[in-house]
């Protein structure tokens, strides 16, 4: 990797693929269902209604795919940047302590999650790069991670407390006091570090390859960046 933008690496999420095709299939199905309903006997109208419903779903799926940015991740010599329709986050390579596929305990075995985890040196630069809307989305999206590697003595689930939505103040290393949704995000990151060893997570749906292959790409980028 070099310092020029032309040589940055752009990752297009698998979930972004086939957006136009899905939208066109939905529109074609909606047209066909309209013709069907208008031309068939009354006892066959129900099939047309089912086709209409399926077509509307396809149109919505295609529309949401097209709303997402053209790429989900940008790898530059300076940073890893995640792009979402609700905002972006950025992790500078200099602020990255380690990254890998998180592993969770299941009985006597350890299995890898279908995600990439990042452990930061300092929360402040990352928190400052996240918009409130994206922070809210991350809090909702990563809630299932809190159920991983929990205390097995917690049989009822009542010992989870308010960790799902911890809105207490958070003090960064630079002394800045966070409140509101950013404090909630920082508390969530701290809890996930305690349970899984990482602060920030990328789901495999945001990638264009298997998580293990993406980790290797990150290692190659990190080793080749200017020092």
The DSSP code sequence of the chain is --SSGGG-EEE--GGGTTHHHHHHHHHHHHHHHHHHHHHS-GGGHHHHHHHHHHHHHHHHHHHHHHHS-S-SEEE-SSEEEEEETTEEEEEEGGGEEEEE--EEEETTEEEE-SEEEEEES-HHHHHHHS-HHHHHHHHHHTGGGGGTT--TT--SSGGGTTGGG--S-EE-TTSPEE-HHHHHHHHHHHHHHHHHS-SEEEEGGG-SS-HHHHHHHHHHHHHHS--
Task: Reply yes or no on whether the pLDDT at 162 is more than 90.
Answer: no
Range with the lowest mean pLDDT among 57-71, 83-97, 142-156?
A: 142-156
Is 120 or 60 the better-scoring residue by pLDDT? 120
* 122 and 212, same domain (yes or no): yes
pLDDT recorded at residue 12? 85
- Do 56 and 103 reside in the same domain of the chain? no
Domain that holds residue 57: 14-67
- 213 and 101, same structural domain? yes
Kindly state whether residues 165 and 203 are assigned to the same domain.
yes
Does residue 123 sit in the same domain as residue 39? Answer: no
Q: What percent of the chain has pLDDT over 70?
A: 84
User: Would you place residue 165 in the very low, low, confident or very high pLDDT band (cuts 50, 70, 90)?
Assistant: low
Average pLDDT of the residues in 176-191: 91
pLDDT of residue 49: 85
The predicted pLDDT at position 23 comes to: 75
* Residue 85 resides in a domain: no
Confidence of residue 3 (pLDDT cuts 50, 70, 90): very low
Mean pLDDT of the 201-215 span: 91
Say if residue 109 is in the same domain as residue 193: yes
Confidence of residue 183 (pLDDT cuts 50, 70, 90): very high
Pair 23, 118 in one domain: no
- What pLDDT, on a 0 to 100 scale, did the predictor assign at position 150? 62
Residue 193, in any domain of the structure = yes
Whether 61 and 112 map to the same domain: the answer is: no
Amino acid 28: pLDDT = 87
Are 197 and 152 within one domain? Answer: yes
Quick: pLDDT tens for 45-89: 788 888 888 888 888 877 777 777 788 999 999 999 999 988 999
Q: Is residue 79 part of a domain?
A: no
**Same domain? 104 vs 61:** no
Query: What is the count of structural domains for the chain?
Result: 2
User: Cα–Cα distances in Å, from 165 out to 135, 142, 159, 160, 180?
Assistant: 12, 11, 14, 11, 11
pTM score, whole prediction: 0.75
Q: What is the mean pLDDT of the chain?
A: 83
């Amino acid at each position: 990797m070099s310092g020029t933008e032309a040589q940055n690496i752009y990752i297009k999420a698998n979930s972004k693929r086939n957006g136009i095709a899905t939208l066109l299939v939905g529109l074609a199905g909606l047209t066909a269902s309209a013709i069907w309903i208008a031309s068939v006997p009354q006892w066959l109208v129900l099939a047309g209604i089912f086709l209409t419903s399926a077509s509307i779903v396809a149109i919505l799926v295609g529309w949401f795919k097209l709303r997402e940015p053209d790429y989900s991740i940008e790898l530059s010599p300076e940073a890893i940047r995640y792009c979402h329709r609700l905002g972006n986050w950025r992790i500078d390579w200099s602020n990255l302590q380690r990254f890998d596929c998180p592993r969770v305990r299941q009985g006597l075995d350890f299995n890898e999650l279908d995600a990439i985890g990042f452990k930061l040196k300092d929360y402040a630069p990352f928190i400052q790069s996240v918009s409130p809307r994206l922070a809210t989305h991350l809090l909702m999206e990563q809630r299932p991670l809190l159920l991983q590697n929990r205390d097995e003595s917690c049989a009822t689930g009542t010992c989870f407390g308010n960790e799902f939505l911890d809105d207490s103040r958070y003090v960064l290393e630079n002394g800045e006091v966070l409140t509101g949704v950013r404090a909630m995000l920082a508390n969530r990151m701290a809890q996930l570090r305690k349970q899984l060893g990482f602060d920030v997570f990328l789901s495999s749906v945001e990638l264009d390859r298997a998580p293990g292959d993406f980790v290797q790409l990150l290692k190659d980028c990190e080793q080749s960046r200017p020092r």
